[in-house]
Amino acid sequence: MVKEKKIGKVTHYFDTIGVAIVKLSGKLKVGDKIHIKGNTTDFEQKVESMQVNHKNVVSAKPKDDIGLKVIDKTRANDTIFLA
């Protein structure tokens, strides 16, 4: 099994719109496959869209706070890995 690279942490989740706010510690771009893992969270998805300051972006860098459309519920402190 390939070790996944940790690239961020969920700081907030907006239930009504299915968006997680993520503080990045690594690079992320649209099309990347990510794994979101926490105490009760565990799923993989492809990054379809993300935003920085309410503007759509195709890539983001460490220290960016991004809005990430997710396919399942996430919780604060869930970890994001590059799959």
Contact 69, 50 (CB under 8 A): yes
Q: What is the pLDDT of residues 33-70, one digit of tens each?
A: 999 999 999 999 999 999 999 999 999 999 999 999 99
Integer Cα distance of 12 and 32 in angstroms:
21
Contact 27, 62 (CB under 8 A): yes
CATH number at residue 39: 2.40.30.10
pLDDT score of 1: 53
Query: Which pTM was predicted?
Result: 0.93
Q: What is the number of domains present in the chain?
A: 1
Integer Cα distance of 40 and 31 in angstroms:
25
Share the mean pLDDT of the chain.
Answer: 96
Dihedral angle at the C-alpha atoms of 71, 61, 63, 49, nearest 10 degrees? -20
What confidence category does residue 3 fall into, taking pLDDT thresholds of 50, 70 and 90? Answer: confident
The domain containing residue 34 runs over which residues?
5-82
